[in-house]
């Protein structure tokens, strides 16, 4: 019983992080059609920013994260405006745009990776924050993990409400359905897609900050998170942001459960789920 | 008409000149250059065989590492039993058979789903082989009967020549034209009596065949392999980057792309080991921004 509770709670914590990152990627690919291979690097940037602010200036990690997220939103927006909008105009077909924007994001991945390696090297970094143990129902958790869970879920809910209730959220959903008709109904499509790219970067960065509170961080931590995000995007359905959150929770639960049973099978399990879902329900578990 | 004839003649003589140059390379150049040339051939083979399937059909396969890795493993298992050319051929055949199987399963997926499926499949295979070696055979990695640099060089040269010639022939054959038709409009192709599934799977298998041969031919260079190096996911991405970089509109696009990128990365790696990926990444971004159709696109626009 205690083991089951342990697995469920760790799984949800892990899943909330996966969900955030995947929702970010889904905004970038599902809406803006940019398969951003450098998405994981924004996770890494968020983690290192939080680490640096905490260990150098003694800033509270959450405060540092709250300060930095609007900045990543802007960075993402300007990346879209300066690079991807240009690629979109120079590509004749949508397929060509997808290929070329993926290449550009590969370029970004290489550049960010290299700068991070020059800056921090290959060392593993960590800091301690709210690490006192919490006990409930006989299970022990570090306080920072519970905190990360709450913040992750809060961000998800806030984001979901934003998409559902605001005008901008509506514009994003319209662009996800069909960019052409969104443009026809008077939406400044490049502004919306730029915003999607920026929001995607922001979600990745928030997830990175939360990861840095719980785990050790390295300059090369980003890419595995990209792979996980890809799996989750497929699980939840392309363009379905809520699906990504749910898919993230599901994958987190499954991988954690397998991890307790036989650690080496955890990766195999996630790829197996991934390939099976693609074959049986390519529109995603939560799609129509 | 005369002009066309003249053009083909120059083109033939260029290829023959390149081939003679390549055949003689080990006799006049230092050994590091032979090694670089071998990896250039490997990447050309991978990029060309990736393009054979992916350019006409519009599918993006990210499973190159799987078929390359199968070739490597075939050599590791059979390298001592059969002579090298036979093993290289077997490597290709093994990849071809698995390619048919993969094609049957997943070629009904479209676009993005095909790309991520092939990627997920190759990662699944890598992790499963890793798990198998850990838990069933109890050893991770194995030593390979290694050949000398010259032998690897020549076997890779033969493989790359076959792959390049095959890609030209396929592009010009009825088969290749049928595929182009499928890529442009699947429905229209079906209406004029092209068997879409058969053509797709066949071509996918052919492209896997060359990847497997490349893996078997390169394996003797590595001398030690484990699942992580044999099924390295980077091997799946690099040929895509190289082909798009060179441009998939012409047969020589992937060759040019693979040649330049392998050469540039070897130079960068030895001259600026700390800024290698930084420069590589900037080159990428600049090329895509200013040459959206790849290098070949710029050349053909001038004509």
Residues 214-243 of A with CB under 8 A from B: 227, 230-231, 234, 238
CA neighbor of A211 nearest in space, from A164, A141, A147, A271: A147
From chain B residues 272-291, the ones with a CB under 8 A of any chain A CB are: 274-278, 280-285, 288-289
Answer yes or no: do B277 and A113 touch at CB < 8 A.
yes
A82: closest chain B residue by CA: B289
Instruction: Work out how many CB contacts closer than 8 A connect A with B.
Output: 106
| Complex confidence, ipTM | 0.80
Q: A228 or B15, which is more confident?
A: A228
Closest by Cβ to A114, choosing from B111, B277, B285: B277
The DSSP H or E segment spanning A134 is strand A133-136
Q: What is the pTM of this model?
A: 0.84
**Alpha helices (H) along chain A:** 2-26, 39-57, 61-79, 85-90, 94-120, 143-165, 167-177, 179-184, 189-214, 222-236, 241-261, 265-280
Identify the closest residue of chain B to A269 by CA–CA distance.
B124
Binned at pLDDT 50, 70 and 90, residue B7 comes out as: low
Chain A CA closest to residue B59: A95
Residues 26-65 (B) with a CB less than 8 A from some CB of A? 58, 60
Nearest to B93 by CA among B67, B123, B119, B129: B67
Query: Cα–Cα distance between B296 and A158 in angstroms, integer?
Result: 47
Q: Is the pLDDT confidence value at B267 over 90?
A: no
Alpha carbon of B221: minimum distance to chain A alpha carbons (Å)? 27
Closest partner residue to B289 among A86, A109, A272, by Cβ? A86
Give the nearest chain B residue to A106 (CA atoms).
B281
pLDDT digits (tens, 9 = 90+) for B85-107: 899 999 999 999 999 998 888 87
Residue in A35, A110, A271 closest to B123 by CB = A271
Which of B58, B241, B278 shows the shortest C-beta gap to A114?
B278
Domain-wise residue ranges, chain B: 35-302
What single-letter DSSP state applies at residue B143?
A: E
pLDDT tens for each residue of B34-59: 888 999 999 999 999 999 888 887 78
Q: How far apart are CA B187 and CA B178, in angstroms?
A: 12
B41-50, B205-214, B248-257: segment of lowest average pLDDT: B248-257
Q: Given an 8 Å threshold on Cβ–Cβ distance, is A100 in contact with B282?
A: no
B:166-205 residues touching chain A, CB 8 A cutoff: none
Using a CB-CB distance cutoff of 8 angstroms, which residues of chain A are in contact with residue B127? Answer: 267-268, 271
Whether residues A279 and B282 touch (CB distance < 8 A) is answered with: no
| Residue A29 DSSP class | I
SS3 A218: coil
Contact check, Cβ <8 Å, A100/B292: yes
Nearest CB among A35, A96, A107 relative to B282 is that of A107
Give the number of C-alpha atoms closer than 13 A to the C-alpha of residue B244, restricted to the C-beta side.
27
pLDDT tens for the 288 residues of chain A, in order: 778 888 888 899 999 999 999 999 999 998 888 989 899 999 999 999 999 999 888 888 889 999 999 999 999 999 999 999 998 888 877 877 887 888 889 889 989 999 998 988 888 888 878 777 777 777 777 888 888 899 999 999 999 999 889 999 999 888 888 888 888 888 888 999 999 999 999 999 999 999 998 888 998 888 889 989 988 998 888 888 889 999 999 999 999 999 888 887 888 888 888 888 888 888 888 765
Q: Which two tokens stand for residue A232?
A: 């989750």
Burial tier of B258 (Cβ tally within 10 Å: 0-12, 13-18, 19+): buried
Percent of the residues in chain B that have a pLDDT greater than 90, as a whole number:
22
| Partners of residue B237 in chain A, C-beta under 8 Å | 106
B131 vs A231, A268, A275: nearest CB: A268
> Residue B1: is its pLDDT beyond 50?
no
Instruction: Give how far A276 is from chain B: nearest CA, Å.
Output: 9
Of A86, A114, A267, the CB nearest to B281: A114
What band does B302 get if pLDDT is binned at 50, 70 and 90?
Answer: very low
The yes-or-no verdict on residue B4 having pLDDT over 60 is no
pLDDT at B255: 92
Cα atoms in the Cβ-side hemisphere of radius 13 Å centred on B58: 18
Per-residue confidence at B144, pLDDT binned at 50, 70, 90?
Answer: confident
Q: What is the mean pLDDT of chain B?
A: 84
> Sign of the C-alpha dihedral, residues B270, B273, B275, B279?
positive
The pLDDT assigned to A122 comes to 82
Q: According to the model, what pLDDT value does residue B215 have?
A: 93
């Amino acid at each position: 019983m205690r083991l089951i509770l342990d697995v469920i709670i760790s799984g949800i914590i892990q899943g909330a992080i996966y969900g955030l990152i995947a929702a970010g990627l889904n905004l970038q690919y599902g809406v803006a059609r940019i398969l951003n291979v450098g998405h994981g690097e924004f996770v890494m940037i968020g983690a290192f920013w939080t680490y640096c602010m905490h260990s150098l200036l003694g800033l509270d990690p959450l405060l540092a994260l709250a300060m930095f997220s609007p900045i990543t939103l802007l960075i993402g927006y300007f990346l879209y405006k300066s690079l991807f909008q240009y690629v979109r105009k120079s590509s004749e077909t949508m397929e060509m745009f997808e290929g070329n924007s993926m290449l550009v994001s590969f370029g970004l991945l290489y550049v960010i990776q290299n700068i991070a390696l020059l800056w921090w090297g290959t060392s593993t970094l960590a800091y301690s924050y709210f690490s006192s143990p919490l006990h409930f129902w006989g299970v022990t958790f570090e306080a920072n993990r519970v905190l990360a869970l709450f913040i992750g879920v809060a961000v998800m809910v806030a984001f979901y409400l934003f998409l559902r209730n605001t005008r901008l959220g509506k514009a994003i959903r319209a662009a996800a359905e069909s960019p052409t008709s969104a443009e026809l109904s008077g939406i400044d499509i490049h502004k919306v897609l730029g915003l999607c790219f920026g929001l995607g970067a922001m979600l990745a960065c928030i997830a990175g900050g939360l990861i840095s509170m719980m785990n050790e961080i390295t300059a090369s931590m980003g890419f595995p998170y990209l792979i996980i995000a890809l799996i989750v995007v497929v699980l939840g359905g392309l363009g379905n942001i809520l699906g990504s959150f749910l898919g993230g929770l599901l994958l987190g639960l499954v991988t954690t459960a397998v991890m307790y049973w036989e650690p080496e099978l955890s990766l195999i399990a996630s790829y197996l789920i991934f390939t099976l879902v693609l074959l049986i329900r390519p529109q995603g578990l939560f799609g129509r | 008409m005369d002009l066309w004839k003249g053009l083909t003649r120059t083109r033939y003589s260029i290829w023959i000149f390149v081939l003679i140059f390549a055949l003689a390379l080990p006799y006049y150049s230092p050994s590091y250059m032979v090694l670089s040339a071998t990896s250039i051939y490997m990447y050309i083979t991978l990029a060309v065989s990736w393009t054979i399937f992916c350019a006409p059909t519009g599918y993006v396969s990210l499973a190159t590492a799987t078929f390359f890795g199968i070739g490597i493993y075939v050599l590791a298992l059979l390298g001592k039993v059969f002579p090298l050319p036979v093993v290289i051929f077997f490597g290709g055949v093994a990849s071809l058979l698995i390619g048919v199987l993969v094609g049957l399963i997943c070629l009904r997926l479209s676009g993005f789903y095909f790309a991520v499926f092939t990627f997920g499949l190759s990662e699944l295979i890598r992790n499963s082989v890793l798990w198998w070696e850990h838990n069933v055979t109890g050893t991770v990695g194995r030593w390979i009967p290694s050949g000398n640099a010259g032998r690897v060089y020549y076997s890779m040269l033969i493989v790359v020549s076959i792959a390049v010639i095959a890609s030209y022939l396929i592009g010009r054959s009825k088969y290749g034209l049928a595929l182009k038709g499928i890529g442009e409009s699947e429905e229209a192709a079906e209406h004029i009596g092209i068997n879409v599934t058969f053509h797709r799977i066949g071509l996918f298998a052919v492209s896997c065949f060359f990847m497997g041969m490349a893996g078997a031919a390169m394996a003797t260079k590595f001398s030690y392999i484990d699942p992580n190096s044999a099924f390295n996911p980077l091997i799946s991405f690099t040929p895509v980057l190289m082909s798009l970089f060179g441009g998939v509109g012409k047969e020589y696009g992937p060759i040019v792309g693979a040649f330049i990128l392998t050469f540039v990365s070897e130079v960068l790696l030895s001259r600026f080991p700390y800024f290698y990926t930084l420069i590589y990444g900037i080159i990428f971004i600049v090329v895509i921004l200013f040459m959206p159709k790849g290098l070949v696109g710029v050349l053909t626009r001038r004509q």
